[in-house]
């Protein structure tokens, strides 16, 4: 099947998606394709009135459809039909995602599209399996913990994995009986719009999923501060998460889950399978050109095996095939924007000025669009900007250690605690260190999620509050009521 396409021929969904239809929206801000830097569309910015329209539509749709009160299996079945349609329409979704984002069309069908459909099915199954609990009380009374949906949930997603981030948010909210208003990133909104359109085509009542386009300060603020948005689910940078907390504190209290930034370490011991470790490390920084929250960007290796590990990582870095996201033979992504590629380079140059040694990359790739060479920096201290800052690009730093205590000390980051990788054949050590690592996820002898979706994801420290994925994400979309009845 030929997936490559001409980006100029793609029909983009037009406007916000509210109440099951596209609402005409005037584009105001230019959108550029990361693969060639060409301006190809303009995006609209929903103001407070439009956000209000989306929220009231969601509220009314909940009431009219009885989504929260109908037999839960009906929610499950409708969501399964939606997941089936996502797969049928996989090519269209993949192209809409690839045209604006950094995701490669050749990887999207088996990757992001399949994962999104699986996530919808995974969460759909909670609707008729997770319920209220009877609790132990005296014999003359009955105690219950009842759970209920929140009503209208507000979600905000980043640009880096638009489809699967939308699946993380919409799947549990909908299965739990809520309606949702989602604001995708202003840089990558199109696949999310089409995802919502497919939901309506699959029989999910119109108005339960609404997509509003816009930026953080206008649209995002209006959403997080809206009195009828009962809960916020956010994925993005720590800075934006902090601004959202402040806005919620200012406009009224409501629960929120925040999935934020990271600067994750990968610790390699001398007894590890070095080939496996080098591949996992290189892949974690090459996939999406390192533009992943969990990118394992800090390699911390036992001194005695630093040399062979570096050689293996460098060899893997040389195999990349950069190319436009719409060419199915490309295997290395562009950087999302001109601003971001310059930010990556500025941090690398600052690290070099502070004494880092560049073992690979450290420069733009000489081609159209925003491509940055896979970069490996050694001779960096804990205070190097390349070690401290979330770079969100294809940049690895390399530090060494001589014992476990030193490895843990170097791995600990003052701000972030999203994920960590451990490579060792010593099981006791793996468990000992896993217990002490300050991270919401620890991967041992691998550096990637499984596709089971059951393990929750979220951060320690300023990498976030609450979890996406797993049972916890479903539960976070329901509130609980304690009931005590005298018999």
Task: Return the active site residues.
Answer: 259, 293
Decide whether 3 or 419 has the Cβ nearer to ligand NAD. Answer: 419
Task: Rule CB under 6 A: say whether 260 interacts with ligand NAD.
Answer: yes
Helices 190-201 + 162-175 axis angle, to 10: 40
Yes or no: say if 258 and 241 are a contact pair by the CB < 8 Å rule. yes
Would you give the binding string for ligand NAD spanning residues 172-201, x where CB under 6 A is met?
A: -----------x-xx---------------
The residue from 19, 167, 236, 417 that contacts ligand NAD (CB under 6 A) is: 236
The closest alpha carbon to 101, from 281, 289, 375, belongs to 289
The closest of 308, 337, 363, 316 to 160, measured between CA atoms, is: 337
Closest CB to ligand NAD among 46 and 278?
A: 46
Q: According to the binding rule CB under 6 A, does residue 348 interact with ligand NAD?
A: no
Least distance CB 402 / ligand NAD (angstroms): 31
Q: Under 8 Å CB-to-CB from 376, ≥6 apart: which residues? A: 310, 313, 314, 317, 358, 359, 360, 361, 396, 397, 398
Nearer to ligand NAD by C-beta: 44 or 220?
220
* Cβ–Cβ < 8 Å for 174, 152: no
The residue (of 20 and 261) whose beta carbon lies closer to ligand NAD is: 261
Nearest-approach distance from CB 217 to ligand NAD, in angstroms = 6
Residue 415 as a binder of ligand NAD (CB under 6 A): the answer is no
The Cα 405–Cα 162 span in angstroms is 38
Q: Which residue lies nearer to ligand NAD by CB, 176 or 232?
A: 232
Taking CB under 6 A as the rule, does residue 261 contact ligand NAD?
Answer: yes
Residues 270-289, interacting with ligand NAD (CB under 6 A): none
Q: Is 132 helix (H, G, I), strand (E, B) or coil?
A: coil
d(CA 444, CA 179): 38
Contact with ligand NAD (CB under 6 A): which of 153, 282, 293, 373? 293
Alpha helices in 371-464 (DSSP H): 385-388, 404-411, 427-436
On the CB side of 418, how many CA atoms lie within 13 Å of its CA? 27
Through-space distance between the first and last CA atoms of the chain, rounded to whole angstroms: 66
Tell me which DSSP letter residue 147 carries: E
Among 178, 224, 424, 462, binds ligand NAD (CB under 6 A): 224
Query: Is 156 a binder of ligand NAD (CB under 6 A)?
Result: yes
Q: Which is nearer to ligand NAD, 29 or 146 (CB)?
A: 29
DSSP state of 219: I
Find the binder of ligand NAD among 190, 392, 447, 460 (CB under 6 A). 392
Please tell me whether residue 235 binds ligand NAD under the rule CB under 6 A. Answer: yes
- Does 207 sit near ligand NAD (CB under 6 A)? no
Residue ranges with strand state E in 33-140:
39-43, 133-135
Considering the rule CB under 6 A, would residue 215 count as an interface residue with ligand NAD?
yes
* Residue tagged 């060409």 (tokens): 38
Rule CB under 6 A: choose which of 44, 262, 323, 417 binds ligand NAD.
262
**119 is an interface residue for ligand NAD by CB under 6 A:** no
Q: Does 476 bind ligand NAD (CB under 6 A)?
A: no
Nearer to ligand NAD, 118 or 259 (CB): 259
| Shortest Å, Cβ 185 to ligand NAD | 4
> To the nearest whole angstrom, how small is the minimum distance from the Cβ of residue 318 to ligand NAD?
27
240 lies in the site for ligand NAD, by CB under 6 A? yes
Binder among 89, 327, 345, 390 for ligand NAD (CB under 6 A): 390
**In angstroms, rounded to a whole number, what is the distance separating the alpha carbons of residues 139 and 130?**
25
Cβ closest to ligand NAD, residue 146 vs residue 239: 239
For 403, counting Cβ atoms within 10 Å of its Cβ (0-12 exposed, 13-18 middle, 19+ buried), the class is exposed
Helix, strand, or coil (residue 486): strand
Residues forming beta bridges with residue 375, ordered by sequence position: 395
Q: Which stretch binds ligand NAD (CB under 6 A): 115-123, 214-222, 315-323, 477-485?
A: 214-222
Does 221 bind ligand NAD (CB under 6 A)? Our answer is yes
Interface residues for ligand NAD in 437-466 (CB under 6 A)? 457, 459, 464
- Look at the block and give the residue holding tokens 């109440």: 19
Distance, in Å, from the CA atom of 385 to the CA atom of 394, rounded to the nearest integer, reads 15
CB 385 within 8 A of CB 379: no
Residue choice 44, 216, 323, 361 for contact with ligand NAD (CB under 6 A): 216
Q: Which residues, other chains included, contact 239 with Cβ-Cβ below 8 Å and sequence gap of 6+?
A: none
Interacting residues of 107 by C-beta distance below 8 A, sequence separation 6+: 331
Residues of this chain that bind ligand NAD (CB under 6 A): 156-160, 183, 185-186, 215-217, 220-221, 224, 235-237, 240, 243-244, 259-262, 293, 390, 392, 418, 457, 459, 464
């Amino acid at each position: 099947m030929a997936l490559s396409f001409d980006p100029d021929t793609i029909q983009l969904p037009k406007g916000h998606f509210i109440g099951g239809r596209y609402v005409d929206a005037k584009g105001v801000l230019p959108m550029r394709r990361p693969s060639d830097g060409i301006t190809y569309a303009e995006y609209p910015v929903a103001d407070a009135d439009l956000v209000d329209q989306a929220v009231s539509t969601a509220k009314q749709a909940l009431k009219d459809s009885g989504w929260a009160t109908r037999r839960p299996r009906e929610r499950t079945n409708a969501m399964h039909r939606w997941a089936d349609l996502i797969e049928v329409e996989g090519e269209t979704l993949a192209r809409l995602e690839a045209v604006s984002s950094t995701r490669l069309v050749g990887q999207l069908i088996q990757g992001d599209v399949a994962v999104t459909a699986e996530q919808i099915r995974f969460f759909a199954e909670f609707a008729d399996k997770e319920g209220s609990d009877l609790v132990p009380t005296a014999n003359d009374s009955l105690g219950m913990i009842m759970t209920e949906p929140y009503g209208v949930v507000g979600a905000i997603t980043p640009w880096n994995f638009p489809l699967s981030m939308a699946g993380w948010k919409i799947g549990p909210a909908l299965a739990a009986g809520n309606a949702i208003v989602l604001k995708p990133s202003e840089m990558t909104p199109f696949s999310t719009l089409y995802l919502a359109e497919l939901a309506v085509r699959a029989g999910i009542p119109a108005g339960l999923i609404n997509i509003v386009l816009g930026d953080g300060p206008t649209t995002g603020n209006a959403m997080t501060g809206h009195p009828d948005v009962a809960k916020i689910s956010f994925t993005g940078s720590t800075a934006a998460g902090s601004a959202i907390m402040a806005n919620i504190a200012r406009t009224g209290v409501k629960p929120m889950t925040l999935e934020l930034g990271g600067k994750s370490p990968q610790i390699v011991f001398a007894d590890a399978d070095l080939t496996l470790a080098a591949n996992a490390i290189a892949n974690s920084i090459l996939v999406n050109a390192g533009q992943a929250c969990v990118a394992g960007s800090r390699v911390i290796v036992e001194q005695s095996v630093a040399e062979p590990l570096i050689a293996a990582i460098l060899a893997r870095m040389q195999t990349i095939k950069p190319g436009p996201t719409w060419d199915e033979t490309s295997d290395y992504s562009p950087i999302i924007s001109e601003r971001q590629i310059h930010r990556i380079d500025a941090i690398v140059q600052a690290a070099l000025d502070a004494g880092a040694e560049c073992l690979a990359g450290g420069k733009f790739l000489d081609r159209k669009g925003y491509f940055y060479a896979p970069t490996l920096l050694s001779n960096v201290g804990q205070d190097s900007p390349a070690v401290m800052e979330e770079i969100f690009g294809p940049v690895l730093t390399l530090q060494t250690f001589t014992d476990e205590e030193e490895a843990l000390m170097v791995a600990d980051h003052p701000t972030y605690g999203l994920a960590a990788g451990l490579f060792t054949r010593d099981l006791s050590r793996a468990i000992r260190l896993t217990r002490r690592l300050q991270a919401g996820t620890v991967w041992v002898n691998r550096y990637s999620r499984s596709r089971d979706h059951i393990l929750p994801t979220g951060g320690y420290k300023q990498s976030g509050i609450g979890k996406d994925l797993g049972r916890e994400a479903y539960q976070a979309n329901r509130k609980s009521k304690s009931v005590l009845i005298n018999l």
